[in-house]
Structure 1
Amino acid sequence: MKSSQLFQLEKSIIGMVHVQALPGTPKNKYSLAEICDIAVAEAKTYEEVGLDAVMIENMHDVPYLKGSVGPEITAAMAVVAKAIRDAVQLPLGIQILAGANKEALAVAKAANFQFIRAEGFVFGHVADEGYIDACAGELMRYRKTIGAEDIAVFTDIKKKHSSHAITSDVDIDETAHAAEFFLSDGVIITGSSTGKAVYLHELKCLKDKIQIPVLIGSGITADNIQEYWEYASAFIVGSHFKEEGYWENKISEMRLQNFMKTVKRLANA
């Protein structure tokens, strides 16, 4: 599947569902059934207001494991994913933290999701979980093995919450080219941490330099999306839709509706 086929519009808004802490993780306080209900309610809110896609991730599962997760996490995410798939008609994506890209792909395949977000696709970096090595070769072979070639793999480059000192001589342009060469379906760029805006000069560097879509993965708000609008194909938004703009809070329907009014104005300009 071409990544452009995932979304109906040239500029797509992807709403983030931060799945509540799963059973077995330190902050868990809900049953799996309750976790599903909360996630489904958020996904349906996003669909009702007119977003183009929804993505889920296990962001409440701090502290994160590195590079893989236990079978209980993969199984729980599959249950949540299936519940959302049954509830909404939008394209759906998944990320499993931290860097559990094969697990995310397996869940996406099982639950009929359309894309995953993968960390550490090309080059290595030091994250707060430790060293994350490149995984493109293994991941794309796994996608082929399980017959999941219709699932798009969108890949972070120069990722947030990470040090890139070991690749300081490799700029974002070259990193994006490497991801494209290694068959990424689209690159995701972020600010320094969750909710932090992307550096505009980095985004501008990628315009017309690669043939795959560029997605913005952090820091988009109703106030700044106009600055980034012409430079990206899709915008992953989570924190801004929450009360007080903080990712752990509940969705603010007022913030969500105001954001979509801005998007409609930009789309019609």
Structure 2
Amino acid sequence: MNLNKTIIGMVHVQALPGTPQNKYSISQICDIAVSEAKLYAAAGLDSIMLENMHDVPYLKGTVGPEIIAAMSVVAKAVREAVDLPLGIQILAGANKEALAVAKAADLQFIRAEGFVFGHVADEGYIDSCAGELLRYRKAIDAEDILVFTDIKKKHSSHAITADVDIDETAVAAEFFLSDGVIVTGSATGKAVYLHELKSLKDKIQIPILIGSGITDENLEEYWNYASAFIVGSYFKEKGVWKNKIDEKRIKNFMDKVKLLRLG
């Protein structure tokens, strides 16, 4: 998967069976995810990522077999529906599980939390996982699946690594064989600090992905400092992640992308 100003659209998978807000069957959940994925594909997005965002409150570092099974079924349905690179994140920090689903459903990448160093998230302390995760990727013969890794992640406290700045964190992630680092704002839908991106661009050779806060209004400002842009909230009605997709928002955004690609 070549990242070259790649636009990645988020499919926030509906709450899965066994989670507090579940109200749909697996079949219905698949239908909704496939419908959203097809909208993204028709609008010209480059890639799609699945995430179990509706499964609040999230478990920490692992999920049950019912979630792994359900996400595999959803991922396979989307894989069969669209011919785009696909990725997955399983919250919170269930990185090995995400890799297993990606392997089973023929996905191209995962988004991993807590790859290097550690942080305190809503769910509690998330420890680093690079060594274990990449050994697991090797063990299941999944080295063709890219691992994009959050650094100084949103919705988290980084007080315990306050003496390690984002540049050093990115360098560590590269040294530990990350396939690309994801930079976020303080929360879902919040913009990234531009000065951090400008600094990072000269510190690492691996791709930089922006993981929150991108809109059609600020995309140009960030365009030259990232290889890929993960967009979720902006594509939803009123810019709220849990709402339905707003096709007009997608069109406006992709029109801006086309202009920027023309230089």
TM range (shorter): over 0.9
Q: Does 1:131 align with 2:118?
A: no
For the residue of structure 1 that corresponds to 2:35, the secondary structure is helix
Cα displacement string for residues 203-231 of structure 1 (whole angstroms, at most 9, x for unaligned residues): 11101211100000000000001110000
Cα displacement string for residues 66-118 of structure 1 (whole angstroms, at most 9, x for unaligned residues): 00000000000000000000000000000000000000000000000000000
Matches within 5 A, 1:183-202: 183-202=177-196
1:238 match: 232
Aligned pair partner of 2:164 in 162, 170, 186: 170
1:210 match: 204
Aligned pair partner of 1:54 in 26, 48, 72: 48
Q: Distance in 2 between matches of 1:163 and 1:69?
A: 22
Q: Quote the offset at 1:233 in angstroms.
A: 0.1
Q: Distance in 1 between matches of 2:139 and 2:55?
A: 29
Cα displacement string for residues 12-34 of structure 1 (whole angstroms, at most 9, x for unaligned residues): 00000000000000000000000
For the residue of structure 1 that corresponds to 2:38, the secondary structure is helix
Q: Does 1:103 align with 2:103?
A: no
For the residue of structure 2 that corresponds to 1:35, the secondary structure is helix
For the residue of structure 1 that corresponds to 2:69, the secondary structure is helix
Q: Distance in 2 between matches of 1:125 and 1:207?
A: 23
Q: Quote the offset at 1:244 in angstroms.
A: 0.2
Q: Does 1:11 align with 2:33?
A: no
Q: Does 1:42 align with 2:12?
A: no
1:80 match: 74
Amino acid corresponding to residue 95 of structure 2 in structure 1: N
Unaligned runs of 5+ in 2: none
Amino acid corresponding to residue 247 of structure 1 in structure 2: W
1:120 match: 114
Q: Distance in 2 between matches of 1:10 and 1:209?
A: 18
Matches within 5 A, 1:146-161: 146-161=140-155
Q: Distance in 1 between matches of 2:256 and 2:157?
A: 34
1:3 match: none
CA RMSD of aligned residues (A): 0.6
Amino acid corresponding to residue 4 of structure 2 in structure 1: E
**Identical-residue share of aligned pairs (%):** 79
Aligned pair partner of 2:220 in 226, 244, 249: 226
For the residue of structure 2 that corresponds to 1:179, the secondary structure is helix
Q: Distance in 1 between matches of 2:193 and 2:185?
A: 6
Structure 1 runs of 4+ aligned residues shifted over 3 Å read: none
Aligned pair partner of 2:57 in 59, 63, 78: 63
Q: Does 1:264 align with 2:258?
A: yes
Cα displacement string for residues 226-249 of structure 1 (whole angstroms, at most 9, x for unaligned residues): 110000000000000000000000
Cα displacement string for residues 116-170 of structure 1 (whole angstroms, at most 9, x for unaligned residues): 0000000000000000000000000000000000000000000000000000000
Work out the number of aligned pairs and report it: 263
For the residue of structure 1 that corresponds to 2:7, the secondary structure is strand
For the residue of structure 2 that corresponds to 1:38, the secondary structure is helix
Normalized against structure 1, the TM-score is what? 0.97
For the residue of structure 2 that corresponds to 1:55, the secondary structure is strand
Q: Distance in 1 between matches of 2:4 and 2:132?
A: 31
Q: Distance in 2 between matches of 1:250 and 1:87?
A: 19
Amino acid corresponding to residue 139 of structure 1 in structure 2: L
Normalized against structure 2, the TM-score is what? 0.99
